């Protein structure tokens, strides 16, 4: 009896045929899918936009069009700061287990006048936590309007590059390139002059895509 059970255990998978093999392939494919976690603020959370029209939703469409096996979870919250993102990151990493993280935070820190060192420290801590969890990180930078002062604006802009360089992360220098600094900037923003309209979302994705594509399989 023991010998019969042993032989049956060896051959049942073979006799099961295609359905067993297909199940194994499906499990392997599921494990191989890349998981992109976007942690951002209102610029990534579709503030003032119709659902499904923001740049993160367009990213999902582009991945599907280019047949890249990846899922996207948008964990962006309007009004969030780097300290807020840092506080909730551990649970996001644990629940989603991303292979990639797009980090788009910092703009609200500047709007609230928070110390730039705190912003840099929070971005660095989030980057390191994600990397330690096995995710590749892409930091998305922001710039401040000229009325914040040239020196402050320069320091704010460079902190994203400094954090990315120090932690060997990817970098998008300016999410709103071609939108906030373009010839048709006024027409691309909502009435608050802070949040881009739907027409600007494709350009925002185009700013992120080249650097993110380098990190994807």
Q: Is 206 among the catalytic positions?
A: no
Tell me phi and psi for residue 46, to 5 degrees. Answer: 60, 40
Element (H, E) at 100: strand 100-104
Residue with tokens 């603020």: 41
Report the distance separating Cα 206 and Cα 68, nearest Å: 16
Q: Is 192 among the catalytic positions?
A: yes
Catalytic residue among 83, 162, 195, 206: 195
Q: Which residues pair with 170 in a beta bridge?
A: 138
Q: Is 42 among the catalytic positions?
A: yes
Catalytic residue among 5, 19, 151, 192: 192
**Residue 93 CB partners (closer than 8 Å, separation 6+):** 37, 129, 130, 133, 135
Catalytic residue among 41, 42, 100, 109: 42
Element (H, E) at 170: strand 170-172
Put residue 188 in one of left, alpha, beta given phi > 0 → left and psi -120 to 50 → alpha. Answer: alpha
Element (H, E) at 4: helix 2-16
> Dihedral through CA 138, CA 151, CA 180, CA 57, nearest 10?
20
Catalytic residue list: 42, 192, 195
């Amino acid at each position: 009896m023991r010998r019969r059970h042993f032989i049956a255990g060896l051959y049942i998978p073979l006799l099961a045929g295609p359905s067993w093999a297909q199940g194994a392939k499906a499990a392997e494919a599921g494990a191989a899918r890349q998981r992109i976690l976007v942690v951002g603020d209102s610029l990534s959370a579709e503030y003032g936009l119709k659902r499904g029209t923001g740049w993160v939703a367009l990213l999902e469409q582009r991945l599907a069009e280019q047949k890249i096996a990846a899922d996207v979870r948008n964990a962006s919250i309007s009004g969030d700061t780097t300290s807020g993102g840092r506080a909730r990151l551990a649970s996001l990493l644990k629940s989603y287990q991303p292979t990639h993280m797009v980090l788009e935070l910092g703009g609200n820190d500047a709007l609230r006048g928070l110390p730039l060192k705190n912003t840099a420290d929070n971005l660095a801590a989030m980057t390191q936590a994600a990397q330690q969890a096995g995710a590749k990180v892409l930091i998305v930078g922001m710039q401040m309007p000229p009325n914040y002062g040239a020196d402050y604006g320069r320091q704010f802009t460079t902190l994203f590059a400094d954090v990315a360089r120090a932690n060997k992360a990817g970098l998008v220098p300016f999410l709103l390139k071609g939108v906030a600094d373009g010839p048709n900037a006024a027409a691309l923003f909502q009435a608050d002059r802070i949040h881009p309209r739907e027409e600007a979302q494709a350009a925002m994705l185009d700013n992120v895509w080249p650097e993110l594509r380098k990190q994807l399989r």
